[in-house]
Structure formats: structure tokens, C-alpha cells
Amino acid sequence: MGSIDTSTRVESGPDPIPTPNVTANGLSAGEDSVHPPAVDSTGASAENESLRKRKCSGVLPLEVGTRVMCRWRDGKYHPVKVIERRKLPCGGVNDYEYYVHYTEFNRRLDEWVKLEQLDLNSVETVVDEKVEDKVTSLKMTRHQKRKIDETHVEGHEELDAASLREHEEFTKVKNIATIELGRYEIETWYFSPFPPEYNDCSKLFFCEFCLNFMKRKEQLQRHMRKCDLKHPPGDEIYRSGTLSMFEVDGKKNKVYGQNLCYLAKLFLDHKTLYYDVDLFLFYVLCECDDRGCHMVGYFSKEKHSEESYNLACILTLPPYQRKGYGKFLIAFSYELSKKEGKVGTPERPLSDLGMLSYRGYWTRVLLDILKKHKGNISIKELSDMTAIKAEDILSTLQGLELIQYRKGQHVICADPKVLDRHLKAAGRGGLEVDVSKLIWTPYKEQN
């Protein structure tokens, strides 16, 4: 019936870092216990505490832009920058909470913190950015560096400096902290421009079938008793086992399309929010059980694209990530292009992670063909077979150093051992699209 099970909380962040065992004296297990010399409580220690308090009160309230160390959920202190502050109701002159950016991590982990989480002895109000970045990179482990490299830039490659500043200023503070969707409570990653009446909400409750959102749990429960949807509106065009894909026309289901965009923006920093969803088709992937079809992720595409875009936006919801669904959605978009008899390419700019996903898909598809093919094959023939745009094929093969330019034309050099090495590096292909289960008519042919 779509009733809400006990919510499973999904936290989005780096891999958990083990918290040290703390002994009774406050030291990590294994550390040498160093006992401070005994002092009179009215002596030096009291004087030092008084000096510390005066020093701390001198920097409060912290200004926007201040650098300080902050205790994160792993129990350790990490460098942050104060992005915004707000006064606590019924608080004193210096009683604020602060919205901070963890400079070691992606913007998706920005959050509001209380004063007691901050180490005021580490306050820096003026910092040389270049020096700080250099020091930070030296302190990071290889694992942390790789995670930052994978997630640091979120698709602003084509924005000029002024536009990027404007975007970051407008979206700098996350307005919705968590959402409830089906049986999951999910921490959000980014700002999403919900209507003004939701400005005072830190949590929203979504109907997982029609995607209407509410401020309170009781409202959602009342809504679920009346909502007769058990799956996304639109046509089911694919069913294989427990997986289903629904095609939703933005013109026929405008409110659903807009709500899906609001939801997606919470997890996509670079996404442009389109209020005119009439021009788009949404392909919503679901896991199905006896309670209904539960959204896993989606991609959208323009109904008519002059640039041959076969995908405008793609998202796998956090509870379903790292299960192969993103690769499935990419593969599905190309199967639709094949049905249309067209070549396709994703809309630019791609985020860093988006480009990694597509590079992996293009690599696996092209190398599988090259391994099996006997004799010469051209880029045009590869494009016709895969629906991948020739420019994407060329850039992928060049990146793999499998192509050379001879006598005025590109020649593919496919040594079997080299192909095997690249295929192994590209990783698994994820879930397979069973084309025999796809029942779909291209939009242009519909009445």
C-alpha cells in the first residue's frame, strides 16, 4: 500500500573512519598517560582558563570566511570555513550556529554546527588560500586525496568565474537537510530551490510514487491513504525480474516532472532546474515488490535535441548507489538511441563523476566489439553499431592510446593483450539491459 516502513537513515559522506577507543582519562587506548602536575584550583590553571575565555570571547561571533577546526561525525577535528551564520533564538549576543564547509571534503558534506563543535583556539581569520591548499594536500592520505579528486568539481567546467561565484553564492547554504522517501531517510547533498513556503523546513516527506512533498509526517500519512499510485505515472516500457522502467512525459505529468527535478537537485550540484518540463521525457527506474514500484534513479532527455543529446540529467538515489544502476541507466539511454536509429551523446557539461561513468561505459562497449571483430573496422561502423557519437569514440580510443593517425585517416590498433588490460581496468559493466524486454516507440512516432 505504500505505507512507510521504519526509516533507514542514509548518510552521505566519506568512508567511515574508526573512532579511537577512549579510556577513562580521555586518552586514546595505547597512548602514554601523562599526568599534569598538580596545581591549586585557584592558581595557574584557573588563570589559564580565564585567559582562554577572554581570548575566545574576543573572536565571537565568528565572521563568515573564518577558518577553524571542527569536530565531525568521526569524532575528529577537520579544517572548515564558515560559509554562513545565524543567531540562535533566545540566545545571548554571541550565540550563533554556523554553516561550515569541510575543506578536505566535497560541498555535499556542508552542514550547520554548534559552537561547541568548534575549536576556537584554532581560529584563523586571514589565510593565504594557495598556501593552505598546499598544506592540506600534504596532510591528506592517498585515500582521502583520491576521494576528493573524484568528487571535487561537480560540472561547472563551462561556467565563467562570475557565473560560478553567483551560482555558489545562491546555493551555498543547504536548505533541506534530510528527506524521507519510501522506507529511507536520506541526507541531502546540495541546495534545491523549493517554493518559499518550504524555507523553514529542514526535512521534507515525499510520496515515493507521485513525488508530492510535505512538511510533516502526518501530512504524508494522510496523503498515502488517498494516493492511488503504486508506480510513477506514465508507461512501463521495460520489465525484467524486479526491475521496471517507466517513461514519463513532462507535458502530460507536469507536477511529477517538476517534483522530480526538485528532488534531483538535492543530490546534483551542477543541475540546471527546468521549470518547463514539457520539453522533456523522464525515464524512471524502479525496484518492484508487492507494495509497488520504488524509484531507484532516473535519467531525462529532450524530446527533440538538435545536438543529438540522448541524456540531459542522470541520478541514482544515494540508498541505491554502487549497485550498478548508474551504468544501467547509461546503457538504457543508448538502447533507446538504437531504437530511434540515431547516435547519441550526453548533454554537456558533464560532472567529473559523470565523465568517469561514461568513459567506463564507452570503453567496455568499444573494447568488447574490438575483441570479437575480425578484420578492419572504422569509427563510423563502431558508431552505427553502438549509437555512440563518433567524437566520443575517437576521444575514448585516443585516451586508451588505441588509435593512430596514418595517411590522413585514423587507424585503430587493437592488440588483444592491450584490449584485455584496458577491459580489466574499466571494471564490471553493471546490470545488463535485456533488449528483448524493451517495448517502446520513439516519441516522434507517437500520435
Question: How far apart (Å, rounded) are the C-alpha atoms in residues 329 and 433?
Answer: 9
SS (H, E, C) 386-438: HCECHHHHHHHHHHCCCEEEECCEEEECCCHHHHHHHHHHHCCCCCCCCHHHE
Question: How far apart (Å, rounded) are the C-alpha atoms in residues 81 and 127?
Answer: 11
Q: What is the pTM of this model?
A: 0.73
The grid coordinates of residue 200 equal 523553514
| Average pLDDT of the residues in 89-109 | 86
**Predicted pLDDT of residue 425:** 86
- Secondary structure of residue 107 in the 3-state scheme: helix
Residues 15-39 pLDDT 10s? 433 333 333 333 333 333 333 444 4
**Predicted pLDDT of residue 403:** 86
**Predicted confidence band at 287 (pLDDT cuts at 50, 70, 90)?**
very high
DSSP state of 60: P
| Average pLDDT of the residues in 112-118 | 93
Dihedral over alpha carbons 359, 242, 434, 422 (to 10 degrees): 30
| Average pLDDT of the residues in 219-225 | 97
Residue 141 CB-half CA count within 13 A: 6
Place of cell 548518510: 11
Residues in the chain: 447
Query: CB-based contacts of 442: which residues, under 8 Å, 6+ apart?
Result: 336, 339, 340
Percent of the chain having pLDDT more than 70? 75
Is residue 149 scored above 50 in pLDDT? no
Residues 417-442 pLDDT 10s? 888 888 888 887 779 999 999 999 99
| Average pLDDT of the residues in 142-148 | 38
Active-site residue numbers? 347
Q: In what order do the strands lie in the sheet with 111-113?
A: 111-113, 96-102, 77-87, 67-71, 118-124
**Predicted confidence band at 264 (pLDDT cuts at 50, 70, 90)?**
very high
**Predicted confidence band at 106 (pLDDT cuts at 50, 70, 90)?**
confident
Residues 398-428 as b/e (b if ≥16 CB within 10 A, e otherwise) read: eebebbeeeeeeeebebeeeebeebbeebee
**Predicted pLDDT of residue 275:** 65
**Predicted pLDDT of residue 144:** 42
Residues 56-78 pLDDT 10s? 566 889 999 999 999 998 999 99
Is residue 50 scored above 90 in pLDDT? no
Residues 317-374 pLDDT 10s? 999 999 999 999 999 999 999 999 999 999 988 877 788 889 999 999 999 999 998 8
**Predicted confidence band at 416 (pLDDT cuts at 50, 70, 90)?**
confident
Cα 155 to Cα 58, 261, 269: the distances in Å are 40, 17, 8
Place of cell 577558518: 67
**Predicted confidence band at 168 (pLDDT cuts at 50, 70, 90)?**
low
Question: How far apart (Å, rounded) are the C-alpha atoms in residues 15 and 109?
Answer: 13
In the chain, the amino acid numbered 280 is: F
Percent of the chain having pLDDT more than 90? 55
Is residue 47 scored above 70 in pLDDT? no
**Predicted pLDDT of residue 263:** 96
